[in-house]
Amino acid sequence: MPSNVPTAFTDLLAGCTRSAVHLEMRDSYAVDYEKGPFAEWRAGYRHHPDDRASWWRPWLDLVQETVNRGVIMRRARIVSEPVSEYTRFLYDGTFTNEAAGEQVRWLPRRRASGIALPGNDFWLFDDQVIRWNHFAGDGSSLGGEVWDETPDVAKLCADAFEEVWARAVPHSQYEIH
For residue range 123-148, what is the model confidence (pLDDT) as tens digits?
Answer: 999 999 999 999 999 899 999 999 99
Q: Does domain 9-46+55-173 match CATH 3.30.870.10?
A: yes
Break the chain into its structural domains and give their ranges.
9-46+55-173
| pTM of the shown model | 0.93
Predicted confidence (pLDDT) at residue 77 exceeds the cutoff of 60: yes
Distance, C-alpha 45 to centroid of its chain: 22
pLDDT in tens, 46-62: 988 788 777 767 888 99
CA 27 – CA 25 distance, rounded (Å) = 7
Predicted confidence (pLDDT) at residue 2 exceeds the cutoff of 50: no
CA 174 – CA 91 distance, rounded (Å) = 9
pLDDT for residue 1: 42
